[in-house]
Amino acid sequence: MKIQTRRLVRTIANSHVSTPVEVVEGNSCPKLVGDSFHYQTLGGTRIWHPSAYSKKGWSNMRYVNSTVRVEVGAKWMKKMGLVSK
């Protein structure tokens, strides 16, 4: 996918300029999906204020990577003329 096409898809989805773009099957317009990065306890509970749970030399926290991405349907892109045939 060309840079200009990714840029346009991100603009339509109102996302950040570095958000990955994923083409999926279907006719869906660009949308922002996924979760932002965060911290969890080892048991899986989300921690909203990590500094409140930290102790020097010990931590029950783990970092969870972001899964935020822009999903756009392949048929939608073809209908809009954003892919070569």
22 conformational bin, left if phi > 0, alpha if psi -120 to 50, beta if neither: beta
Average pLDDT, the chain: 89
pLDDT for the residue numbered 59 = 73
Report pLDDT digits (tens) over 19-64: 999 999 999 999 999 999 999 988 899 988 877 766 666 677 889 9
* pLDDT (average), residues 72-78: 94
* pLDDT (average), residues 8-25: 94
Tokens of 67: 């899964």
Task: Report CA Rg, the chain.
Answer: 18
Whether this prediction's pTM lies above 0.85 is answered by no
